[in-house]
A and B are shown apart, each in its own frame.
Chain A
Amino acid sequence: MRRANISEAAGLVFRRDLTLALRRWDEVTQPLIFYVVVTTLFPLATTPDLAQLRTISGGVVWVAALLSALLALESLFRSDVEDGTMEQWVLSGQPLAWLLLSKVAAHWILTGLPLVLIAPVVGTALGLPFDAWGTLMLSLLLGTAALSVLGGIGAALTVGVRRGSVLLSLLVLPLAMPLLIFGARAVAMQMDGDSPAGPLQLLAAIFFLALSLGPLAMSAAIRISVES
């Protein structure tokens, strides 16, 4: 039997994760519903006046996306570590960072991308104008992707811990604050008529940094979790 090369292995992991997730559909839809519910909380807590909500709409959508993404991240590695698959991957001799990146990519498509696509809908419910849609979606695209990597590190560190999702949020939220600052601000600037290029570029920079260093940290974290 021929040993797979890394791109084959990564592709296999990607397809396998997508297939498995589509079988556990509720794990995919629940964070999405949470996202919509959380966005609804803000008008209930403040005001139904769209003109007032408009000013915080970008921020609210971003916070809801952040919390929802974190919620979805807890299950990223759990089942694979529990049933020993992860141990096999560590021992397989394939570069672990790539396998994990594939896994995170599949996870993001299922949990992060829907947040991006639905964002205009929830944003509009908060008074977000149409011309801010593009900035909102682009900022969330970069932000949720970066968050998947950052959160992946956190998830790898906390695998198997009781009440792990609270700990995961506690670890990842401070690290995610720059994403929130730049992403929400980009939307606000777009609404004010200024160019959002500055914060969007900074967001992209963080995303690329996360993409390059994140998988290394994730594989170190997985090894630590699995070897104990």
Chain B
Amino acid sequence: MWTWLHKFASPPHAYRLLGRLAPWFGWPALALILLATWWGLVRAPADYQQGDAFRILYVHAPSAWMSMFIYVVMAVAAGIGLIWRIKLAHAAAAASAAVGASFTFLALATGSIWGKPMWGTWWVWDARLTSELILLFLYFGYMALRASFDDPQRADRASAVLAIVGVINVPIIHYSVEWWTTLHQPASVTKLDKPSIAIEMLYPLFIMIVGFQLYYGWLLCRRLRAEILRRERNATWLKEGL
């Protein structure tokens, strides 16, 4: 099994495989995202309490989910790269960072936009939004650390340690922020929770999440290929032509 893994992880092999894999992520992603958008905006009924504003859920929640998911993937990939010294894993972590940060930003922005008609202000210090904000800081820290080294190996390994420390901290941060927000309103409903709704209204949510996941897969294929090209610039297989 390790020979298979190492063969896959070999750059020329991975490069070709990723190129062939990409469309299998890309087209379904596009289809599902469009389907979910139509379903969420048109077909799903309006919410009893929030009216049509609740439709923002269909882009906010999947973004928030992806922001967390990608951070974990990034940390796991970095850990694999650090422990087993697999360059491809480091490349995957590097390739994921900006994508994850952009989803985090989107979660914050859509959450803020959703908050305005619902609670009257552009920002609330509720548990979800505050956690997302701190996650954004974690992403920025990771990217800043990577960028501060010229030596690619040090950049890979140092940022891997940071990612692992970060991912261990994330549950602690979540819990502490949760605790912090419930202090004055012990029985409060978390602000950006899904309104209590029928299961049919959740279908577009699930479809959008799967669509976003597939899209991340596509983005990872493309960005990983770029990373491989950059890291292997002096390798023979590349110099001999693609």
Chain A residues with CB under 8 Å of chain B are 153, 157-158, 161-162, 167, 170-171, 173-175, 177-178, 181-182, 185, 202, 206, 209, 213, 217, 220-221, 224-225, 228
Binds A, one of B28-36, B65-73, B165-173, B206-214: B165-173
Separation of A221 and B154 alpha carbons in the complex (Å): 10
Please determine whether B162 and A157 come into contact, CB atoms closer than 8 angstroms.
yes
Which of the residues B137, B145, B151, B157 comes within 8 Å of A174, measured between beta carbons? B137
Residue from B140, B145, B151, B169 within 8 A of A158 (CB atoms): B145
Q: Is the CB of A167 within 8 A of B144?
A: yes
Interface residue? B149 (CB, 8 A): yes
The 10 closest A-B pairs by CB, nearest first: A178-B176, A228-B154, A174-B137, A224-B157, A171-B141, A181-B176, A181-B180, A157-B158, A161-B148, A228-B151
Q: What residues of chain A lie closer than 8 Å to B157, measured between beta carbons?
A: 224
Interface positions, chain B 142-165, Cβ under 8 Å from A, are 144-145, 148-149, 151, 153-154, 157-158, 161-162, 164-165
**A206: which B residues are within 8 A, CB to CB?**
172
Assess whether B165 is in contact with A181, with CB atoms less than 8 Å apart. Answer: no
Q: What residues of chain B lie closer than 8 Å to A157, measured between beta carbons? A: 145, 158, 161-162
Give Cα A178 to B131, complex, Å: 11
> Are the C-beta atoms of A225 and B154 separated by less than 8 Å?
yes
Number of chain B residues whose Cβ lies closer than 8 Å to a Cβ of chain A: 30
Q: Are A224 and B154 in contact (CB under 8 A)?
A: yes
Cβ–Cβ contact A171 & B148, under 8 A: no
Q: A167-B148, A224-B161 are in contact. Are A175 and B177 (CB under 8 A)?
A: no
User: Looking across the interface, which residue of chain B has its beta carbon closest to that of A159?
Assistant: B158
Report the separation of the CA atoms of residues A221 and B145 in the bound assembly, to the nearest whole angstrom. Answer: 13
Give min CB distance, B3 to chain A, whole Å: 28
Contact in complex: B172, A158 (CB < 8 Å): no
Q: A158-B145, A158-B148, A174-B141 are in contact. Are A221 and B161 (CB under 8 A)?
A: yes
> Closest residue to A157 on the B side, CB-wise?
B158
Q: Are B134 and A170 in touch, CB under 8 angstroms?
A: no
| A182, B172: Cα distance in complex, Å | 11
Q: Is B158 a contact partner of A221 (Cβ separation < 8 A)?
A: yes
Chain B residues near A202 (CB-CB < 8 A): 176, 179
Interface membership of B138, Cβ < 8 A: yes
